Structure 1
Amino acid sequence: MPKSILIDCDAGIDDAQALFLALSSPEVNVVAITVVHGNVLTKQVAVNVLRILRVVERLDIPVYVGSETSILGHERRHDDEPYHGWDGLGDSPDPEAVDESLINPEPASAAIVRICREYRDSLTLVCLGPLTNVATAIRLDPALGQRIQHCVIMGGNYYGKSNQTIFYKACSCWKTGTYI
C-alpha cells in the first residue's frame, strides 16, 4: 500500500526533482502540495508546481499557497541573482500557461492542519523548503506533530546559512504541543 505524503515546498529545481520522483513512485501517494515563499514568490512557486503536475498528468493533486514572508516577517529579496533562475525552474520556457484557477483557495497552513487530521497517524509530512507553513500550522494546532506518522525535512541551502532558531523551535514543539 502506498505511503500517503503531503509535500511542502518552494519549488526550485531541487524540489522539482523531488516532486517528479515522488509523483512517479508507486510506493507514494501524494495527497497534497503546499507552497511557501523561498526560491521565488509563492504565486510563482504555485505556478511551478502546477507546471510539474501538468507534465506528469496529476493536476488532480490539490495545491495550496502559504506564507509570503518568513515567520518573523522578513521578506527574501528577489532582485538578487536567483540561484534557481528568475522563475525558480532555471528560467525554462513554458509556452503554455497553466490554469491558475487550479490553486486551492484554502491557506496552506490550514490545509496542513486539516490533512494531518484526516490522515491521522498515517501521513508523512515532507518539507522541502522554508518551514514557515509548518510553523504556522503548528501555531494553529500545537498537537500537529502527534498526528503525523513521519516528518522528512530537506535542510540546508546554497550559502550554508539557516534560521536555526525557528527550525529548532518548530521541531521541539512537535511532540510537546507547545507554541512557537
Structure 2
Amino acid sequence: MGDTRRAMRADARRNRDRLLAEARAAFLEHGTGASLDDVAARAGVGAGTLYRHFPTREALLEALLGERFDALTARARALADQGSAREALLAWTLEFVETTTAYRGLTAMLTATLRDPASALHASCEAMREAGTALLVRAQRAGDVRADVTPAEFLALVAGVSWAREQLTGGEPGADRLLPLIFEGLGPPR
C-alpha cells in the first residue's frame, strides 16, 4: 500500500486521504453501514473517485483498519513468549475487542469476512485469528484454559463480547468486565 500511495499524483493522494478521513468520521458516527455516497460527498469528490480508490466497503475498511489489525497480530506474537499464558491471552483478547469495536457493525462484518476469502479484509482477519489461536493453544497447554475449547468456540465467545460492547451504553459493564467472566468459564474444571 505504501508504494502505491507514493506513486499517486498529489491530487489523487489528497483525495484518498480526504476519503479516509471522512470514512473514519462517517463510520464512527453511523457504523460500518454508513453510506459510501455520503462519504464521497463529505470528502468533496464523486462516487467514482471513491470507488477508484476503494472498490468495495471492505477495501475501504482494510485501508482504515489494516495497520491496526497488523499491530494486533504482531502484539499476539509478542505476547506468545511473555509471562503467564492466561494473562497474555486475556491482554490480547481485550485489545482484540477494542479493535474490533472501533465502528458499530464491524464485529459482524469481520465474522463474515473470515468466511469470505475474496474479501479485502480476509487476510488481515485470518492473520489475527491465527495469532489468537496460538495464544489460546499456549494457555491450554499451560492448563489455564480448558483443553476442549476449540479456537472457533473461543473466537465466537470473543465476538459475542465484541457485539455486546457495541450495544452497551454508559452505565453498563464493558468488555473489561465481561471477558474476565468468560475466562473464568474457560478455566479448567476445579
Same-fold status (TM-score > 0.5): no
* Larger gyration radius, structure 1 or structure 2: 2
Higher RCO, Cα 8 Å, sep 6+: 1
More helix by share: 2
Normalised to the residue count of structure 1, the TM-score between the two structures is 0.28
Normalised to the residue count of structure 2, the TM-score between the two structures is 0.27
